[in-house]
Chain A
Amino acid sequence: LAKTTQPISMDSYEGQEVNITCSHNNIATNDYITWYQQFPSQGPRFIIQGYKTKVTNEVASLFIPADRKSSTLSLPRVSLSDTAVYYCLVGDNTSGTYKYIFGTGTRLKVLA
């Protein structure tokens, strides 16, 4: 069963770059890696998605090594408003149908 492992929490200071790594040893060939952000009492919000190498958008970068067994979400120059829980997802194809599986996420706290 596809499963992700992330650090439970991280602290950072404003203006720093934050890297959150996710382990997904059982990722399947067709799976993409997706990261979501969640603020308290709100639904998760899509941040970035990738299949291999590096993907960058206006919010973050996603680094995926060749074996795809892990990925790293990079948030450049974080601000207080980036304090949230970050989830790494891969598709679960073990049952023949895809479904999203969320782990417990990484709680990022940005300090002034």
Chain B
Amino acid sequence: EAQVTQNPRYLITVTGKKLTVTCSQNMNHEYMSWYRQDPGLGLRQIYYSMNVEVTDKGDVPEGYKVSRKEKRNFPLILESPSPNQTSLYFCASSPSKQGRLEVNTEAFFGQGTRLTVV
């Protein structure tokens, strides 16, 4: 079954304790991205990756890191989480061609990770 898998689904952590949220897709998609969703603000892009070893900042990258060592995985790293990073996070993947995202294709989203930083 084609899917995007995020782990964990729920996480409560303390300020400053490094954490990683994993994202894996089984569709051989080149493009992957991370979003956070907050009430009244909709979905905002954090980072995206057009292909292996190619990552770029989205609209709200501060406080986050990503890596793309393999095509299927795109972990989101919070080196020193703060309470303002409490949010619902989504990973997404989509095909791209020649390094450019094909916007005429469907993006697949994971089920989300609800993060609480206290």
Q: Which positions in A face B, CB cutoff 8 Å?
A: 30-32, 34, 36, 41-46, 49, 51, 87, 90-91, 97-105
Q: Which positions in B face A, CB cutoff 8 Å?
A: 4, 33, 35, 40-45, 48, 50, 56, 58-59, 88, 90, 92, 94, 96, 100-104, 106-112, 114
Q: Could you tell me the dominant secondary structure of chain A's interface residues? A: loop
Q: Are A104 and B107 in contact, with the CB atoms below 8 A?
A: no
Enumerate chain B residues within 8 angstroms of A31, measured Cβ to Cβ: 103
A101 to B40, CA, bound (A): 15
In the complex, number of A-B residue pairs with CB atoms less than 8 Å apart: 70
Q: A105 and B103 in contact (CB under 8 A), knowing A43-B109, A97-B50?
A: no
Enumerate chain B residues within 8 angstroms of A91, measured Cβ to Cβ: 101, 103
Q: Are B112 and A104 in contact, with the CB atoms below 8 A?
A: no
